[in-house]
């Protein structure tokens, strides 16, 4: 059986189901309170097509068509495909930029307390070392310092994207946005979810450690 064509209805529905399941999980953990945060998965790369959770909806209650497909600029290309039409988050453009920069297959953005606290305490980057959990984001459990970068918040997605690009650390699939939350990515939705869980654990630990 061949894979569905990028952007086909079958693939769109499958992506929507994945996004809804992942969002419900994060909402259950308290990481997507209210309508906050947004998740995306790549549907195609040339040209870039990204399925992004729709804006303004309770992330614990998304249905399989509560998504928008956007292009490499975060501009919706199929807003009318759902009934009623859905809107993408303003942050969709940043998801697309992360994909272009890192080759990620999924980008997850959540608003966690740990990310905000850590970004405030260590605005120049959050240093971590000698923790078994670092293996979960592809690093050594011993004798390696891993830095999760922190960037200043902005409502201008181009500016925020420029900051993210400048701050990226090779091999670290996460950036903290100060006073805001966390962007994490992976090769697919499953790995992105694992990375969110690991990074959140690392930030919580680091804060508790002081
Ligand atoms: Zn946000």
pLDDT in tens, 35-86: 999 999 999 999 999 999 999 999 999 999 999 999 999 999 986 777 777 8
Please tell me the distance between residue 112's alpha carbon and the centre of ligand 1 in angstroms.
10
Please tell me the distance between residue 5's alpha carbon and the centre of ligand 1 in angstroms.
30
Task: Give pLDDT tens digits for 104-123.
Answer: 999 999 999 999 999 999 99
Strand partners, 107: 40, 185
In this prediction, residue 210 carries a pLDDT of 85
SS3 202: helix
pTM > 0.75: yes
Structural domains of the chain, ranges and CATH numbers in brackets? 3-209 (3.40.225.10)
In this prediction, residue 90 carries a pLDDT of 84
Please tell me the distance between residue 1's alpha carbon and the centre of ligand 1 in angstroms.
38
Please tell me the distance between residue 177's alpha carbon and the centre of ligand 1 in angstroms.
9
Please tell me the distance between residue 146's alpha carbon and the centre of ligand 1 in angstroms.
24
CA angle 194, 31, 185 (to 5 degrees): 35
Please tell me the distance between residue 124's alpha carbon and the centre of ligand 1 in angstroms.
20
Please tell me the distance between residue 144's alpha carbon and the centre of ligand 1 in angstroms.
30
In this prediction, residue 78 carries a pLDDT of 81
Please tell me the distance between residue 141's alpha carbon and the centre of ligand 1 in angstroms.
30
Please tell me the distance between residue 33's alpha carbon and the centre of ligand 1 in angstroms.
11
Q: Are 104 and 42 in contact (CB under 8 A)?
A: yes
72: number of Cβ within 10 Å: 16
Place of tokens 């654990």: 201
Please tell me the distance between residue 90's alpha carbon and the centre of ligand 1 in angstroms.
9
Please tell me the distance between residue 93's alpha carbon and the centre of ligand 1 in angstroms.
12
Looking at residue 88, what DSSP letter applies?
Answer: B
**What is the rounded distance in angstroms from the CA atom of residue 127 to the CA atom of residue 147?**
5
Q: Are 71 and 49 in contact (CB under 8 A)?
A: yes
pLDDT class of 25 with cuts at 50, 70, 90? very high
Place of tokens 């994909």: 99
Please tell me the distance between residue 109's alpha carbon and the centre of ligand 1 in angstroms.
6
The pLDDT mean for the chain works out to 93
In this prediction, residue 130 carries a pLDDT of 95
Please tell me the distance between residue 132's alpha carbon and the centre of ligand 1 in angstroms.
29
Residues 160-174 have a mean pLDDT of 96
CA angle 124, 164, 113 (to 5 degrees): 60
Please tell me the distance between residue 7's alpha carbon and the centre of ligand 1 in angstroms.
25
First to last CA, the chain: 53
């Amino acid at each position: 059986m061949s894979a569905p064509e990028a952007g086909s209805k079958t693939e769109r529905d499958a992506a929507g189901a994945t996004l809804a399941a992942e969002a419900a999980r994060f909402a259950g953990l308290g990481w997507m309170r209210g309508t906050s945060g947004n998740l995306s998965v790549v549907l195609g790369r040339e040209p870039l097509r990204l399925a992004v959770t729709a804006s303004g909806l309770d992330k614990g209650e998304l249905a399989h068509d509560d998504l928008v497909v956007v292009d490499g600029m975060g501009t919706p290309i199929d807003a009318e495909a759902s009934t009623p039409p859905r809107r993408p988050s303003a942050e969709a453009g940043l998801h697309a930029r992360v994909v272009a920069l890192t080759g990620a297959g999924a980008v997850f953005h959540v608003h966690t307390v740990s990310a905000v606290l850590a970004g405030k305490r260590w605005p120049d980057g959050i240093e971590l070392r000698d923790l078994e959990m670092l293996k979960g984001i592809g690093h050594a459990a011993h004798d390696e310092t891993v830095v999760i970068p922190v960037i200043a918040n902005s409502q201008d997605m181009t500016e925020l994207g420029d900051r993210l690009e400048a701050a990226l650390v090779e091999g670290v699939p996460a950036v903290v946005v100060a006073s805001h939350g966390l962007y994490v990515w992976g090769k697919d939705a499953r790995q992105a979810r694992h990375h969110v869980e690991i990074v959140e654990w690392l930030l919580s630990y680091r804060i508790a450690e002081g």
